[in-house]
Amino acid sequence: MSEKKAIKGGEFLIRETEAADIFIPEEFNEEQRMMAQSCKDFTETQVLPNIDALDQHDRKLSVKLMKDAGELGLLGISLPEEYGGFGQNFVTSMLTTEEMGQGYGFAVTFSAHTGIGTLPILYFGTEEQKKKYLPKLASGEYLGAYALTEANAGSDPNSGTTKATLSEDGKSYTLNGAKIWITNGGIADLFIVYAKIDDDKNLSAFIVERDTPGFTIGAEEEKMGIKAASTVQLYFDNVKIPAENLLGSRDGGFKIALYILNLGRIKLSGATLGAGKATISNAVQYANERKQFGQFLSSFGAIKYKLAEMTIRNFASESLTYRASQNIDDAIDSYIAEGMDKDKAGIEGIRQFAIEASIAKVFGSETLDYIVDEGVQIYGGMGYSAETPVERAYRDSRINRIFEGTNEINRMLIVAELLKRGMKGELDLLTPAKAVAGELMQIPDFGSTTMDYFEEKKKYILNFKKAILMIAGAALQKFTKTIQDEQEILMGVSDMIMCTYAAESTMLRVEKLNGMYDENKISIYKDILDVFIADQAAKINKFGVDLTNYFAEGDEKQGMLMGMKRFTKTAPVDVVSARRHIADRIIEDNKYNL
């Protein structure tokens, strides 16, 4: 029997995935759970009791906590053992990121250091650079930051104007320019700085140490949220750095930035999971203690709806995040098995699933924004008080839709990357798109009436994918080379893709759990799946109909509208009873416990 071919990034749209082929959080082993517990204990005993002081810009405390985390080994989870780390895989690093996610702004400090502040050196550094810096970053002796953004270079980082000039003897570079919104900037010892060398078209990356002459760190920015995280401007006035501090190749910095942004996107999704679970737990505990009209808030149907919907969305976000994380690990292992260098395999594994990373980032950040908003609403007037945890969670969440590329940019990247891979022949999008177009001309196949529970759900997912291919195929045929200018189409198709990926990921997780749990225990998960798929079907229909009404005409328009109705049709679901069941479970447990 031939070995099953590993799925490629974005291929979920045109290929069915089996439940057995995905990873779900319920499968974490004992060692992984112990690492997660260490992160949880650290956050609960060290971070949360000090969060007010951290919010007041106590940067000495930030540094101390980071060094304490380093002593516990929490800063080196994904670094190889030879550089002072634990050498854990990507999924394990995501779990620890999730557990640290309940730490409000400190979670940003932690993630920026362990992710974008450290991993560029791991993946792109020379052996000398790795030996010099990674052990110090793993231990907390050095704290890291990532300096890319400029005043006129946000979503378009390659337009930055910070310059590096190579000396005549080729032994050093001189940096001039400024960076803004640099996370960890006020506490970092080491900076990954991006600049253009002379008249190069693309950025290069440099390792810059804090005490380098001419390098000035600005005052702390006063922000809406994540006040516990240091954010400053950086200034470079004839900053001279040795030539060996060039990271990667000359003119290769933009590529490094893109790879690290992909990494940061899915890591951000992991952090939102922890923050979401913490907020749900805080909200249900408040609802179980607060009385109105002689009853606990948790007894009211309106509150149950909120608690259930918060839970459903976080469960879906968790499902897709860990599915994509395992895909990255599998890709890395596959590249290594083929003989690729381990560090390059890590780069390529993350690149391969850039589409899924963007999906996770957008879905996770918008899910958390929904959760914290409803958390404030459940608290009522008290939720507006700075004395409550939901107020801080609400403010801290908002940046996530801007971090690591705005959600609008990421939406457009999802479709653009799919189309690019299709044009390169990496993904065969044309054949299934033609098949769907042909299907619209045929009499609908209403299928068997004897499908079991998961067969029915799989049919829905397959039809969602057909709806995407129908809309995207027709739009591409109409606009061809100008499709990149039709941002409303790109974002609408992207939303359809995200809805489908989230629905499929949730379905596959519940199907896998069905083989692990008895009928009584699995019932709540089926309720989550029933409600979520019904909601995604309605959303996909809305996006598809709106786009069809925009660019289609005549018979094509009528055919596509009929197709959207067919492809998003699902059996009726009693979502009220299902949500009550989900909420009652959360209320009984007095915390998020799924």
**Among candidates 353, 147, 403, 150, which has minimal Cα distance to 253?**
147
CB 552 within 8 A of CB 505: no
Helix axes 301-337, 253-289, angle to 10 degrees: 150
3-state secondary structure at position 82? helix
Residues serving a catalytic function are 404
Its CATH architecture, for the domain 146-250, is Beta Barrel (2.40)
State how far the Cα of 478 lies from the Cα of 433, in Å rounded to an integer.
14
Give the helix/strand (H/E) hosting 184: none
3-state secondary structure at position 236? strand
Say what the pTM is.
0.95
CATH topology for the 429-589 domain:
Butyryl-CoA Dehydrogenase, subunit A; domain 3 (1.20.140)
Q: Write down the domain spans for the chain.
A: 25-143, 146-250, 254-409, 429-589
What beta strand segments (E) does 225-343 contain? 231-242, 246-247, 291-292, 295-296
State how far the Cα of 109 lies from the Cα of 57, in Å rounded to an integer.
12
Q: What are 114's two structure tokens? A: 């362990």
Q: What is the structure's pLDDT at 154?
A: 67
CATH topology for the 25-143 domain:
Butyryl-Coa Dehydrogenase, subunit A; domain 1 (1.10.540)
State how far the Cα of 287 lies from the Cα of 32, in Å rounded to an integer.
32
State how far the Cα of 77 lies from the Cα of 69, in Å rounded to an integer.
11
Write down the CATH number for the domain with range 254-409: 1.20.140.10
Phi, psi of 24 (to 5 degrees): -125, 150
The answer to whether domain 146-250 and domain 429-589 are alike in fold is no
Spatial neighbors of 509 by CB under 8 A, at least 6 apart, are 19, 22, 24, 319, 323, 525
Spatial neighbors of 274 by CB under 8 A, at least 6 apart, are 97, 98, 99, 100, 101, 102, 107
Intervals of the chain under pLDDT 70: 1-4, 154, 444-449
State how far the Cα of 273 lies from the Cα of 276, in Å rounded to an integer.
5
Phi, psi of 118 (to 5 degrees): -120, -45
Residue type, 45: T
State how far the Cα of 244 lies from the Cα of 206, in Å rounded to an integer.
9
CA distances (Å), origin 313, targets 28, 97, 211, 266: 21, 19, 45, 17
Q: What are 222's two structure tokens? A: 């006063």
**Burial of 464: CB neighbours in 10 Å, binned 0-12, 13-18, 19+:** buried
When computed from its CA atoms, the radius of gyration of the chain, rounded to whole angstroms, is 24
**Among candidates 460, 465, 592, which has minimal Cα distance to 535?**
460
Q: What are 499's two structure tokens? A: 């809805």
**Residue 12 CA, distance from chain mean position:** 17
State how far the Cα of 416 lies from the Cα of 267, in Å rounded to an integer.
22
CA distances (Å), origin 295, targets 292, 300, 527, 584: 5, 8, 26, 15
Residue-by-residue DSSP string for 434-449? HHHHHHTTSPP----S
CA distances (Å), origin 363, targets 36, 48, 311, 495, 592: 23, 26, 14, 9, 19
